[in-house]
Amino acid sequence: GENVEQHPSTLSVQEGDSAVIKCTYSDSASNYFPWYKQELGKRPQLIIDIRSNVGEKKDQRIAVTLNKTAKHFSLHITETQPEDSAVYFCAASRGNQFYFGTGTSLTVIP
């Protein structure tokens, strides 16, 4: 089956700086890659996703890049704000089942 690895497990940045979270996957047939944000005590919420036929997607301060050859994808958050502090999960899918990474705890220091 698919194996998704996510790094780093924790990340601290100063407010206003950028944050990058990286994931790798093992199944070359995976074709859909969503990212979820989970605030403390709340449910994971989809923040951005990318399909395998696209190399990059941007939505305001967040962007995701995908390198199919290398089988890795990354989440980029620019101009970080304290409200960006949360756990972020990546996932890979080629059908109905998502395979999640282990999560990155992001802390934005005011």
Partner 1 sequence: DAGVIQSPRHEVTEMGQEVTLRCKPISGHNSLFWYRQTMMRGLELLIYFNNNVPIDDSGMPEDRFSAKMPNASFSTLKIQPSEPRDSAVYFCASRPGSKGDYGYTFGSGTRLTVV
Binding site for partner 1 (CB under 8 A): 31-32, 34, 36, 42-46, 49, 51, 89, 95-98, 100-103
19: tokens are 């944050």
The residue (of 73 and 89) whose beta carbon lies closer to partner 1 is 89
Which residues on neighbouring strands pair with residue 62, listed in sequence order?
59, 77
The residue (of 4 and 108) whose beta carbon lies closer to partner 1 is 4
**Residue 110 to residues 13, 46, 79, Cα–Cα distance (Å):** 9, 25, 12
Provide CB contacts within 8 A for 85, sequence distance 6+.
39, 106, 107, 108
- In whole angstroms, the minimum distance from the beta carbon of 32 to partner 1 comes to 5
- In whole angstroms, the minimum distance from the beta carbon of 25 to partner 1 comes to 15
66: tokens are 């995908």
- In whole angstroms, the minimum distance from the beta carbon of 49 to partner 1 comes to 6
Cβ–Cβ under 8 Å, residues 88 and 35: yes
- In whole angstroms, the minimum distance from the beta carbon of 3 to partner 1 comes to 13
The residue (of 18 and 102) whose beta carbon lies closer to partner 1 is 102
